Each structure stands twice: as C-alpha cells, then as structure tokens.
Structure 1
Amino acid sequence: MKKILVMTAIAVFGMVSAQKNSLLVGGNIGYSNNNNKFMGDKVSSTEAFTFTPTVGYQFHKNWTIGINSVITSGKQEEVFNNNPATLKTNEFAIGPFVRYAVPLGDIFAVYGDLGAGYQNQNMKTTTLGSTSEVKSNGFYTSFTPALFINFKNGFGLNFNIGGIKYSHLKADSIDATSSNFNLSFGKEVGVGISKNFGLK
C-alpha cells in the first residue's frame, strides 16, 4: 500500500529537486490523539489539530531560512471524582526557522527544522456547568525532523511523526506560568505540501 501511494504521488506530480536561490512556500497539517484508561474506563483523552504555514528562502542546496507559524486547536477531556471536565485550547505561534536538508537521491531527502518564536494561548475549562478562560503569552523552541519527497515543478510532500518542543507561557490575568518539554515522536503525524519558486 505504501508503494502504491508513493507511485501515485509521483505519477501526479512528477519529479524534480528543490534548487538553491528559491522561495519555499508550504504548509503542514498535523493530528494527535491520546487516550488513557484505568481499569477499563477512559479517564482522559486529548485531541489536537495543527496547521503550519511556512515561507522560506533556500540560499544553499542544503540550507533554508524563513518564517514559520503554527495554528493549533485542541480538546482535552478528563474525569475527576465522576465529574467530567473539558479543556479547549487555541494556540498561535510565529517565529524564524532554519532547515538543513540531506538528499537521499533524486526524489527523497531528510531534513530538520530548528525554530523559535512568540506564542499565545487561549484556554477554556468547563466543569460542572461552569466555564473559566485564561489567556497566556510566551515563547517556544522546537526541532522537527521529516522526510521530503521532491516532485515536478518544485512541488514536494513532507512527512513527520513528531519532534521536540519546549514551551513557556505566562497568564495575563492570574499569577501563573507554564513550562513544558514535549517529546512527541510517534504520538503525532504531520503531512504537508510545499513548492519552491525559482528566483532570478
């Protein structure tokens, strides 16, 4: 099945590798889902969708620099003392990134994105019919390795299964801070498409 998908993608887009001195435009869509059970009963579940638009300049055959933004919408459900609680989170982040890519042939390449920047978060918690809201601002740093497939006319597909991220947030209205280190390999799936436009 994997071979059929790859061959279908090649048939649709063709083959060519990204060139130096080109403008990179693209985006990834990510999804994660975690469920926890205790003695057969679900005690918590977390689901999140992520969209990551990207603009960059490939100044070398291996190196790209640019701006990355991340839009995330998540929902977490938990049960405390038989009382359900729902946490909805919307996040936005933007910052520069640097990418190093290593070709594995004419079609495939692996790359790693290292980025950092500003982020904000809006979190709503609902329990026992009551809803509270907390808005926060902060910064992040992240590293995401991925597989890249080069296609015709500068198109490419990229796949990742998570990465490493450090996040720090400070609430606006209350005295609260949050610092998280997240290792998400195997817990997330990201699929994206990108295009390199040649520059003169």
Structure 2
Amino acid sequence: MKYLFLGGLLLSAAAAQAQISADTRLLSADAGYSQTSRRQQLLPDNNTKYLVGQSTEVPLQLTGGYFVAENLMVGLQAGYTQRWEKAPTYATSFTGNTVSKLHDNETTSHTFSVGPAARYYRFFGPQLALYGQLGAGYQRQHAERLESNNSYQPPVQKAEGSGYYAGLAPGLAYFPIPRLALELNLRGLSYSRLELESKDTRSKTTYRNFDAGLRLRDLRVGLSLYLGRQ
C-alpha cells in the first residue's frame, strides 16, 4: 500500500511538471483515410451480394493557436475533405434469375472548412496526454456527379453550396520531446448543415448530418509542434 501511494505521488508530480504553459504556440496537422462499402442481395433465390455503394474519404486538418492558460489552447482550424462515392445501377432479366450492371454513378466532392477551435489537455505522466478539441465554423462544398453509360456521352452534374459545422473530437498525444507530439484522434461527435444548389436545374437541397465518429475508420494521425514550450 505504501509503494502504491508513493507511485501515485510520483505520477502526479511527473504529470504536474509536464503541463503546457501559457504563451505556448501550437501548430498541428492531421490526416485520415476511410473506405466503406454496401452489398445487397438482388435475387431472392441467389445468395450472391452485389456491390450497391462504395465511398472513400480523405480528411485533412490544420490547427493553430495560442495557449491562453495552462493546457488550454484557443485558435483556428482549417480542413479539407475529398470524398468519392460509387453507386452501380443493375438490371434483372425478365425471368428474374440473372443480374447485369448497366452503369456506375460516381460522385466526387471537395469540402473546405474554417472556424475557431479550442483544445484542453489532461496529462498522465510526462509524455502522455488526452485532449478534447471543440470546433465550429463555415464550410463550402463543390460536388460533381458522373453517370457512366456506354450508349451516350456521360453527363456531368455539378453542385455547389455552403453551410456550417460543429464538432467535439477526442485525441491522444505522445511527447517524445517536450516540443513535439505524435497524435491519434477520432472524428468524434459532429453536426453539419449544407445547402447545395444544382448548376443545371438550380434546385436546392439541404443536408443535415449528426454523427458519432468513434469507430476505427474515424481514426486520424497527426503531428504537432509546441513552439516556446518550457
């Protein structure tokens, strides 16, 4: 019991010495990659599942700020996400026992975001810390939809729009040296609203999304510099 008590005191002392002091400046960058697919059984008497949807997403984010108090950073974050989606169109025969693919519907979108951010750290020893990052702001998206069909020239449908976002993301920082950290973080809880306008029809569509990005595919890897840290 005595040794456990002493170990706890040493750990607390080490964590106290590892704080990030006020006036430190943060420069951080992280990136991720995720791919999801959906398969569906199209024939009632055949267990074969056909690909009906596939999406790939690559998010990038930059964060910069200033520590206004111990372990508390306030600053700005800017992000860019590229997303590819594929949704094949199938046809079944008159007899209902064969399936053929007609064409692929492909959508590519580019989303830019910028807004204020705040981050708070909780240290567990001199080299390891958990943090939570809160952010919100403005986002803009450009999307193109391509229908690949061999019988005619593929039409391209374009849409643009803007909206806002808000999110709370957890992260883990490892400090091999005091001014450099390797980070793992999750997309976390997020809400976004986008209003896209079609360039062809001028119709507008509003997208609202609330998500809990706490899965393995939501994992991101980052690197941070802590300039001026003592």
* Match in the other structure for 1:94: 114
1:175 to 193, 201, 204: 204
> Deviation at 1:56?
0.8
> Deviation at 1:151?
2.8
List per-residue Cα deviations over 1:54-100 (Å, max 9, x = no partner): 10111222211110011111101112333311010101000001111
CA distance in 2, matches of 1:27, 1:92: 15
TM-score, reference length from structure 2: 0.75
Alignment pair present for 1:198 and 2:228: yes
TM-score, reference length from structure 1: 0.86
The letter of the residue matching 1:189 is L
* Conserved 8 A contact 1:21-1:198: yes
Map residues 96-111 of structure 1 onto 2, 5 A cutoff: 96-111=116-131
RMSD of equivalent CA atoms: 1.8
* Match in the other structure for 2:177: 152
Alignment pair present for 1:122 and 2:122: no
Task: State the aligned residue count.
Answer: 185
> Deviation at 1:178?
1.2
Map residues 24-173 of structure 1 onto 2, 5 A cutoff: 24-39=26-41, 40-81=49-90, 82=101, 83-127=103-147, 128=149, 129-172=154-197, 173=202
The letter of the residue matching 1:144 is A
> Deviation at 1:174?
2.7
The letter of the residue matching 2:73 is T
CA distance in 1, matches of 2:229, 2:223: 20
Q: After the TM superposition, which parts of structure 1 deviate over 6 Å for at least 4 consecutive aligned residues?
A: none
Q: Percent identity at matched positions?
A: 24
The letter of the residue matching 1:198 is G
> Deviation at 1:161?
3.2
* Conserved 8 A contact 1:17-1:107: no
CA distance in 2, matches of 1:163, 1:151: 25
* Conserved 8 A contact 1:26-1:53: yes
* Conserved 8 A contact 1:17-1:150: no
* Conserved 8 A contact 2:19-2:71: no
> Deviation at 1:199?
7.5
The letter of the residue matching 2:107 is L
Structure 2's unaligned 5+ residue stretches are 1-17, 42-48, 91-100
The letter of the residue matching 2:142 is N
* Match in the other structure for 2:21: 19
CA distance in 2, matches of 1:152, 1:18: 13
> Deviation at 1:171?
2.3
CA distance in 2, matches of 1:153, 1:147: 15
* Conserved 8 A contact 2:20-2:229: no
The letter of the residue matching 2:87 is E
Structure 1's unaligned 5+ residue stretches are 1-15
CA distance in 2, matches of 1:62, 1:26: 15
The letter of the residue matching 1:74 is R
* Match in the other structure for 1:7: none
The letter of the residue matching 2:145 is T
Q: Which has the higher contact order (CA 8 A, sep 6+)?
A: 1
SS in 2 for 1:105: coil
* Conserved 8 A contact 1:147-1:160: yes
